[in-house]
Amino acid sequence: MPVFRTASEDETIALGERVAGMLPRGATVLLIGNLGAGKTTLAKGIVKGLGAAQPEEVSSPTFTLIHEYGAPPAVYHIDLYRLDSVREVAALGLDDVFDGPAIVLIEWGERFPELMPADRIEIRLTATGEDERQIDVRLPQ
């Protein structure tokens, strides 16, 4: 259960590239942390590490809910911040995405634990200073 520390946005992107190499095919990854903790930044690095897109092509899906990068099996980046009810999230039909071979990165998925796959990987990000972040990668039990 490694805990990492980064001191800049670029270091978090580089860590995301390393994390990408640790992910099994079809993994679902919950990115957990407050606004500004670096969830989307880490997602940029993971998407880059998976060879699906460059970091500057990865933007927050806060308003669009779901972004898809790369050729199948794609990488999905999902942000559930703006959704309030289990019904709204269930209507997205994420089960097909979870069950498929794509890597799925989700921000604010921990708000709907009953809709998340049991074998998810959880990454917790905490701001410990203006540019310092603690990033705790939890593999499934």
By CB under 6 A, name the one of 41, 47, 102, 104 that touches ligand ADP.
41
Do β-strands 28-32 and 103-107 pair in parallel, antiparallel, or remain unpaired?
Answer: parallel
Measured in degrees and rounded to the nearest 5, phi and psi for residue 81 equal -55, -40
Nearer to ligand ADP, 22 or 35 (CB): 35
Q: What is the Cα–Cα distance from 140 to 28, expressed in whole angstroms?
A: 10
- Which of positions 94-123 make contact with Mg ion (CB under 5 A)? 107
Residue 134 touches Mg ion, criterion: CB under 5 A: no
- Which of positions 54-113 make contact with ligand ADP (CB under 6 A)? 60, 107
Closest distance of CB 118 from ligand ADP, Å: 24
Nearer to ligand ADP, 4 or 100 (CB): 4
Residue 6 touches ligand ADP, criterion: CB under 6 A: yes
Closest distance of CB 58 from Mg ion, Å: 10
CB contact at 8 A, 116 and 110: yes
Nearer to ligand ADP, 25 or 63 (CB): 63
Residue type, 39: K
Provide the 8-state DSSP code for 24.
P
Token pair recorded at residue 27: 């993994």
By CB under 5 A, name the one of 11, 19, 38, 39 that touches Mg ion.
39
Closest distance of CB 136 from ligand ADP, Å: 14
User: Residues near 126 by Cβ (< 8 Å), separated by ≥ 6?
Assistant: 33, 34, 37, 133, 134, 135, 136
